[in-house]
Amino acid sequence: MELVIKNGKVVMPGGVFEANVAVMNGKIVSLGKTELKADKIVDAGGKLVLPGLIDSHSHIAQPFQGALPKETWETGSVSAAFGGITTVIDFAAQFDPITYEKLGVMGDIKRKEEIAGKQSVIDFAFHGIFVDFSDMNAVLREMEEVVKYGYPSFKEFMTYLLLAISDWNLYLMLNKSREVGATVGVHAENYSLEEGMVKKFVEEGKKEPKYHPLSKPNLVEAEAIQRAIILAEWAKSRIYIAHMSTKEGVELVRNARMRGAAIYAETCPQYLTLTDDLYERPDGANFIISPPLRKKEDNEALWRALAEGYVALYGSDHVPLPSEAKMAAKSFNETPNGAPGNELMLPILYSEGVNKGRITLPRLVEVSSLNASKLFGLYPKKGLIAPGFDADIVILDHKLKRKVRLEDLHMDIDYVNWEGWELTGWPTMVISRGTLVIEEGQLVGKPGHGKPVRGKTDEEIIKTVR
Ligand code: URP
Ligand code: ZN
Task: Name the closest ligand to CA 337.
Answer: 1
From atom 9 of ligand 1, which residue's Cα is the shortest distance away? 317
What's the confidence (pLDDT) of residue 17?
A: 97
Ligand 1 pocket: which of 56, 57, 60, 64 to mutate (most atoms <8 Å of CB)? 64
pLDDT at 421: 98
CA–centroid distance, 289 to ligand 1, in Å, is: 6
- Best residue among 60, 240, 243 to mutate for probing ligand 1's pocket (most ligand atoms within 8 Å of CB) is 243
422 C-alpha to ligand 1 centroid (Å): 26
Q: Which residues pair with 51 in a beta bridge?
A: 393
Please give the distance, rounded to the nearest whole angstrom, from the Cα atom of residue 224 to the centre of ligand 1. Answer: 16
Query: What's the pLDDT score for residue 22?
Result: 98
pLDDT at position 5 is: 98
Q: What's the CA-to-centroid distance between 436 and ligand 2, angstroms?
A: 32
Span from the CA of 77 to the centroid of ligand 2 (angstroms) = 20
pLDDT < 70 regions, the chain? none
Ligand 1 site residues (CB inside 6 A) read 59, 64, 187, 289-290, 317, 319, 337-338
pLDDT at 454: 98
Q: Among 155, 221, 270, 337, which is best to mutate for testing ligand 1, by the most ligand atoms less than 8 A from CB?
A: 337
- Counting from 1 in the atom list of ligand 1, the atom nearest the Cα of 157 is 8
Could you give the percent of the chain with pLDDT greater than 90?
Answer: 98
Please tell me the residue having the least CA distance from ligand 1 atom 8: 290
Give 360 Cα–ligand 2 centroid separation in angstroms: 28
Ligand 1 atom with least separation from CA of 288? 1
Per-residue pLDDT at 233: 98
Residue of 290, 293, 294, 417 best suited for mutating to test ligand 1, as the one with most atoms within 8 Å of CB:
290
User: How far does the centroid of ligand 2 lie from the alpha carbon of residue 188, in Å?
Assistant: 8
The residues whose Cβ lies within 5 A of ligand 2, an ion, are: 187
Cα 419 to ligand 1 centroid, rounded to whole Å: 21
The residue whose CA is least distant from atom 6 of ligand 1 is 338
pTM of the model: 0.98
Q: Which ligand is nearest to the CA of 287?
A: 1
| Predicted pLDDT at 158 | 98
Q: What is the pLDDT of residue 344?
A: 98
